[in-house]
Amino acid sequence: MVDDINEVLRKAPLFEALDEEDTAALRSSVNEVRLGRGQTLFNEGDEGDRLYVILSGKVKLTRTAVDGRENLLGVLGPGEMFGELSLFDPRPRTASAVAVTDSVLAGLGHDDLRPFLSIRSQVSLQLLKALAERLRRTNDVMADLVFTDVPGRVAKALLELAEKFGKEGDDGLHVHHDLTQEELAQLVGASRETVNKALAEFALRGWLRIEAKAVVLLDVERMRRRAR
């Protein structure tokens, strides 16, 4: 655990700006959270007083409509952070966080982090950068919902997952996303049937191979062009 935390404090952009003394001070307020696959960390609407950095595993952020339908905002992996919105704007959680695979997280109390925001402008800048990136991506997702067809959105989602979780293999880029077809559809904002049809079409063209909770991208360039 201590190794994990040291590793993450060293690597996570949020903590890059801290010197050794700050890191040591902050480390004592970090707690480890272990989640089993499918376990919920918090629900949309809960009070939130901690942010989390993923040490290992994958966590999905979801919102549920009144009729029960789910929208998957994103899937985060090692080094990524979430739960910071209620740090800047103390209101209830804007999404639920659920482990997609067994996961280990480092939790950091907002109250412990807040003092660093005023004395270490680099920490504030890193948090603002993360927020800016999230806003950019959200704008892209919104524009795609209006302007891009479902196959284009599927291609884009797979490329984004590939950037985070892809591993180069002899036969292509292996993307072990760990999402069910239903979750993939929630991520793309379309029905499972339409998303399956798009995947089958890509497979037929030889652009990818479908595996259980994974895809192997065989022609990344074609996928990129389809995602435009």
List of residues contacting ligand CMP (CB under 6 A): 48, 61, 73-74, 82-86, 93-95, 134, 138
Beta-bridge partner residues of 107: 31, 52
CB of 141 to ligand CMP, least distance (A): 7
Backbone dihedral angles phi then psi of residue 127, each to the nearest 5 degrees: -65, -40
CB of 134 to ligand CMP, least distance (A): 5
- The 10 Å Cβ neighbour count of residue 30 is 20
CB of 46 to ligand CMP, least distance (A): 8
Selection from 134, 133, 126 nearest residue 9 by Cα: 126
Q: Which is nearer to ligand CMP, 82 or 116 (CB)?
A: 82
- At 116, the amino acid letter reads F
Q: Which is nearer to ligand CMP, 95 or 199 (CB)?
A: 95
- Are 165 and 154 within 8 A, CB to CB? no
Q: Which is nearer to ligand CMP, 15 or 207 (CB)?
A: 15
Cα dist from 99 to 83, 135, 206, 213, 225, whole Å: 14, 23, 32, 15, 32
CB of 90 to ligand CMP, least distance (A): 9
Q: Which is nearer to ligand CMP, 38 or 169 (CB)?
A: 38
